[in-house]
Amino acid sequence: MADKGNDPWAMWQTMLGEMERSFNAFAGKAISSPEFSKAMNQAGGASAGAQKQMSEMMEKYLGGLNMPSRDQMVDMAVRLQSIEAQLAEIKSLLMQSGAADGAQSAGQPPSPRPPRTRRPPQPPGEQK
């Protein structure tokens, strides 16, 4: 193995370690300063404002094309889920009602049908 003083890999690791420590120290000082937090706060506010403005512009654009916006689609999906839940509830109630009716009619004979006394009309010329 090579001597530690002449090993290029060990020198590279040492150099990277020193660079990392100095960068961490510099970043720590910069982050803790009030100017940095003020600048970050302003950048976050500007970003939020730009995002809101973009959202409003996109909604106006889609409205001009007669297309729904994302918020309108989300509202529609919520309403559709509500309708589907109500339909499922109605279906289950109908199934229960049908099962109850089937159980009641199973114990009783079917109701008698009235006698069929009326005959269909005969075509002309075929009188009895």
pLDDT digits (tens, 9 = 90+) for 35-50: 888 888 888 888 888 9
Q: How confident is the model at residue 16 (pLDDT cuts 50, 70, 90)?
A: very high
Mean pLDDT throughout 73-92? Answer: 96
How many domains are contained in the chain? Answer: 2
Question: Are residues 79 and 93 both part of a single domain?
Answer: yes
Residue 102: the pLDDT is 66
Question: Are residues 63 and 74 both part of a single domain?
Answer: no
Tokens at residue 114, please?
A: 């009235």
Distances (CA, A) of 17 to 13, 20, 27, 116: 6, 5, 15, 104
Residue indicated by tokens 């079917």:
110
Question: Are residues 40 and 83 both part of a single domain?
Answer: no
Containing structural domain, residue 52: 10-67
In a domain, 116, yes or no: no
